[in-house]
Amino acid sequence: METQLLSYYNQYIQKIERDKKNGYDRELSRQFFLSKAEPISGNILEIGTGKGYLTTALAQKGYHFTSIDISPQEREFAFSVLSHLGLAGNVKLVVSDARNMPFVENNFDTIISCNTLHHIGDVMPAINEMLRILKPQGKIVLGDFSRCGMDMIGKMHSSNGSSHDYEAVDFNKIGKYLENKGFKVKKHGNKLHNILIGYEKNDE
C-alpha cells in the first residue's frame, strides 16, 4: 500500500515539475484561482478532482470539503496523493458525473470547479445541477483555461505524444445565464485562465 501511495505521489510531483519546465506552473495557477475564489466557507463542493492538484491545495489550507470526479481511476490517484500527505481526512472523494450529482437540493454554500468544464462538453446541464444543489445566497466559482491556455496545454500534450480533447467554455454565456437566475457575476482572468464567480443575490 505504501509503495502504491509513493508511486502515485511521485507521478504527481513529476508531472508538476515537467509541466513547469514546459511553461505551465501549476502552483501559480492554483494560487491565482484561490486568490479570486476566497473567501471559501460553509459546506464546500469541488467539481473535478482530477489528479488532485486543486484538491490538495485546498486541503493544505485546512479546508474540509467534498470533491467529485467521473473517473474512479482519478479518484484513486487523488486519494493516494492526499493519503501520502496526511490529508485524506480533509476530503470526501465521490465518483459522480457533474451533470447528475447524488446530492440533495440546497446542500452546498460554495461550489468550485477549476480546469474541468472543458472536459464536459455541453456544460449547461452541469451548471443547472450546481444551481440545484447550491444553497440560497451561495457562491459558484468556475475557472478554466483561456484560448491561450488551451493552446499551451495542447502543445504540452503534443510534445508528449498525446492529445488533449476539449470543448471551449463560453464564460459569457454562463455569466449571462447566471445573471438571469439572479446572480451577481464577477469575472477575472490572466493570460492562461478565465474565472467567473456567481454570488446569489439576497431576496429583498
Q: Note the pTM of the prediction, 2 decimals.
A: 0.93
Above pLDDT 90, what percent of the chain? Answer: 79
- Give 138-192 pLDDT, tens digit per residue: 999 999 999 998 888 888 877 776 766 677 899 999 999 999 999 999 999 999 9
How does pLDDT run across 91-129, given as a tens digit for each residue?
999 999 999 999 999 999 999 999 999 999 899 999 999
- Report the pLDDT value the prediction gives residue 190, as an integer from 0 to 100: 95
> Angle at which helices 53-60 and 72-84 pack, to 10 degrees?
30
pLDDT, residue 156, reads: 80
* Residue-range domains of the chain with CATH: 2-11+22-200 (3.40.50.150)
Question: How does residue 202 score in pLDDT terms, banded at 50, 70 and 90?
Answer: low
Whole-number Å distance between alpha carbons of 124 and 61: 30
The x, y and z cell numbers of residue 29, run together, are 495557477
Q: Phi and psi (nearest 5°) for 128?
A: -65, -35
